[in-house]
Amino acid sequence: MLTYPSIDPVAVSIGPLKVHWYGLMYVIGIAATWILARRRVRHSANPLFTPAQVEDLVFYAAIGVVAGGRLGYALFYNFSGFLHDPAMLFRIWEGGMSFHGGLIGVLIAMYAYGRSQGIRFFDVADFLAPYVPIGLLAGRIGNFINGELWGKPSDLPWAMVFPHAGDVPRHPSQLYEAFLEGLVLLIILQWFSLRSPPRMAVSGMFLLGYGVFRFAVEFVRLPDVQLGYLAFGWLTMGQILCLPMILFGIVLLAAAYTRRSA
């Protein structure tokens, strides 16, 4: 068993101002995406975007991920709590962000930005998708520091006892997700995007990869206590929300390569 590295959730405290690690991780993810995306267009022979457009796109996406993530959490995972306390939407430092809600928010943001610039939706989506795992990696580390979203009891050597989760060693499911949804998916998408895939293929690979990785980790991650398992004693809300991602990912990949060969 490993010892959980208890870290103060507050990274910086100046008087009444408190900067939480969870929120800081979102800033780090967005900043890293902005830096790497700008570097890509500056070193591309035929860039689809200018550096200024990258800045605007990342700004749009940041708004989409925060607004969509928080609203998605309230609607998908804690609707009764939201009805009881609507102000919870604004207390982001407490945790509680839904990736699937954030994805919907980003899709809307990308559509709005692409429409304003006269750029096709999948040109925007394919450009941004390889950088999304950076934010996922940072966000899952934020979950780990917060000591939330822990896994099922485990006797594996790397199991940990999490604060507020009793004295039982558990799967560090946040780190599993950081590794798979973050690092592994980042490597896959970066490699895939450099092989000149057809339009829609990178977006499809992202949806498929994330959906499969998240669905798998949900088997060892405990569901939100207010929801529990939804069916069969193992099916979670996260898995239900991943099924459309897997399906659409396969459809986009098939459509992309069918159109290329036609």
Residue list for the binding site: 140
Main-chain phi, psi angles of 231, to 5 degrees: -165, 155
Q: Which residue has 């009805």 as its token pair? A: 83
Buried b (16+ CB within 10 A) or exposed e, 90-121: eebbebbbbbbbbbbbbbebbeebbeeeebeb
Where are the alpha helices (H) located in the chain, listed in sequence order?
Answer: 21-42, 51-76, 79-84, 99-117, 121-128, 132-146, 173-177, 185-193, 201-217, 237-261
Strand, coil or helix: 229: coil
Contacts made by residues 79-88, CB under 8 angstroms, sequence distance 24+: 80/226, 81/226
Report DSSP state, residue 11: E
Tokens read off for 248: 């659409």
